[in-house]
Each structure stands twice: as structure tokens, then as C-alpha cells.
Amino acid sequence: MNAVRNNTATGTTATAEAAGHYRGRFAPSPTGLLHLGSLVAALASWLDARASGGAWLVRMEDLDEPRNRPGSAAALLATLDALGLVPDEPVLYQSAQQDRYLQAFATLQARGLIYRCICSRNEASFPYPGTCRDAGHPAGRPGAWRLRMPEGDSRFTDRFQGQVRFRAGELGDPVLLRRDGIVAYQLAVVVDDLAQGITDVVRGADLLDSTPWQLAIIEALGARPPRYAHVPLITEADGRKLAKSQRSLPLDALAPQRELLRALTLLRQQPPAELIPATPAAILEWAVAHWSPAGFAGQRSIAAV
């Protein structure tokens, strides 16, 4: 892990950890605009950081070039700014951190913890059955690289969801380097969370089942994991994914107050009616003082009625 540690973008990792400071982050992918679901994740991570007297960072997860949408990163940042969610450090762009990921990748390779997978998309169904695990395919063949997940169940304590357990084999071995040469989200997110000295990952519950993979990568790198806390995923009234509907339309950056109050209500923070005419700053100030994850703890999803 030293190789990765020594190469931090911010240079603040050591001091932050030594002081035991809280460092949180919001890590959007620039594939579209901020919507109600991503606002809830952004706001929860910001509130949790502020309520802990900690720092809050924004990281642009723009490695998946084919999925990036032009202008999306700038638009996301402008919306966050209008909402009053302003990062404490310069935004980190993953596309500028390739060396760091490849260094971590080399460490895992040297430790014999990854393997070449030549399965086609169809063969690599989820959970990946491990077809190539012991096949010893040489590095030269086209394919992806996967992490060997450790045997046994994966258990962790989530600050908001409590005890979480995935059975052995339930998730399969994750891809770390894709067939097209792109560094996979699972590796990049871990390398950056470590390099940026993130102590608390607060994000949507759609990523709960990525957490065992991320914990396994961190373990394989010999590093200490952050704490994880998953906020409920915002869904349609019938529980379906919030997508291509009215509610997943881009947030109205001209009415940040309304959006903040809507997100706080969904997070069961019970903002009082007196806040309706308040400025975003005043709403956020109230929300930090009253931040109560107990309002949604244990809930994996909340319907936006």
C-alpha cells in the first residue's frame, strides 16, 4: 500500500489520519445531471461530514470515458455550488490519476491476488462463476483482470444499515481492469478513498453490494478501510429504480431551497415549515445542527411519493 500512499494527490493523508479527523466525499460519475437520488447521497455525505466537524471532498469519477457526457462534470459542480454544497479541497478527477490505479494494480498482481479472465460478456454472468480463476491464462491474451475474493462470507458493520452480510460466492470475483483497458470503478474508488484519506464513505445503498469487493481490495492492498454508511436509495412510489421519470429530471438549480427541503424530508430529517422561505445556507445550517441518521437507519430504500 505504500506505493499508493506515497503518491497522494492532496498530500494531506498522513496529517488527517494522525489527527483522527473525519474526511468524507461525494463521488459522482459525470454521466448526467444531479437528480434527486444523487442529491440525497451528496447531501447526506455533506451533512455527516459537517456534523462531525470534518472535511468534505468531491471526486469526479470520470474513468468510464464512453459513459461520460460532455459538460456533465461542470454542470454537477455548478448545481452543488447553487445548493451550498461546496468542497473543501480542489475537485479530484479520476482521469488524471491513472498512474495511481496502475500502481495499485501492480501491487495486487505481484501478490498473486488477481487473475486474467477471458470470458466474454455472456460467459461472465453475475455472480461470476470463477471460470478463469485457476486457468492461468497468460497476461498477453485479451481479457479482463479480476480479484480473487477471499473464501467465506463477507461481513461488515455499516454505520447506517447495521450488520451486513453477503454469503460466500454471492458476489463473485470483481473486475479490476476491464477488457477495454479501462480501470474499473471498484479499484479506482478504493485507491482514491485511501489516497485522499477518506475516513467515512457515505453513499447510496445501491453500492452496498460493492462494499465487500472494496473491503477485499483494501485488505489485499494491506490498508485500513474507511467506515461505510449507506443511505436509502430513492425509488419510485412502487419501489422501482428512479429513472426516466419526472423525479429523475435534473434538479432545478434555480430553486435550491426547494430541492434541499425535499431531500431532507426524504431523509426523514423533518425540516420545519419555517425553513420554507430560508436561504440554502440557513437550511443547511439547520440540517447540520439536527442531523439524525436514526431517521432512516436500516432502510435500504425510500419511495419518493
Give contact residues for ligand GLU (rule: CB under 6 A). Answer: 27-29, 61, 189, 203, 207
Q: Which one, 229 or 261, has the nearer CB to ligand GLU?
A: 229
Quick one: CA dihedral 97, 24, 221, 135, positive or negative?
A: negative
Q: How far apart are CA 181 and CA 143, in angstroms?
A: 9
DSSP symbols for 129-140:
--TTTTT---TT
CB of 78 to ligand GLU, least distance (A): 17
Q: Which one, 28 or 87, has the nearer CB to ligand GLU?
A: 28
CB of 299 to ligand GLU, least distance (A): 18
Between the alpha carbon of residue 105 and those of residues 111, 118, 188, 227, 301, the distances in Å are: 10, 18, 10, 23, 34
* Region for 50 from its dihedrals, namely left if φ exceeds 0, alpha if ψ lies in -120 to 50, beta otherwise: alpha
Q: Which one, 202 or 284, has the nearer CB to ligand GLU?
A: 202
Q: How far apart are CA 238 and CA 162, in angstroms?
A: 25
Contact 210, 172 (CB under 8 A): no
CB of 301 to ligand GLU, least distance (A): 15
End-to-end CA gap in the chain: 45
- Angle between helix axes 36-51 and 280-289 (nearest 10 degrees) is 60
Q: Which one, 1 or 207, has the nearer CB to ligand GLU?
A: 207
Q: DSSP assignment, residue 240?
A: -
Q: DSSP assignment, residue 247?
A: G
Q: Which one, 27 or 182, has the nearer CB to ligand GLU?
A: 27
CB of 56 to ligand GLU, least distance (A): 13
Which alpha helices (DSSP H) does the chain contain, by range? 2-5, 13-19, 36-51, 72-83, 98-110, 185-195, 211-220, 256-266, 280-289
CB of 213 to ligand GLU, least distance (A): 11
Q: How far apart are CA 59 and CA 189, in angstroms?
A: 10
CB of 151 to ligand GLU, least distance (A): 25
Q: Which one, 212 or 271, has the nearer CB to ligand GLU?
A: 212
CB of 61 to ligand GLU, least distance (A): 4
Three cell numbers written together for 95:
482521469
Q: Which one, 132 or 218, has the nearer CB to ligand GLU?
A: 218
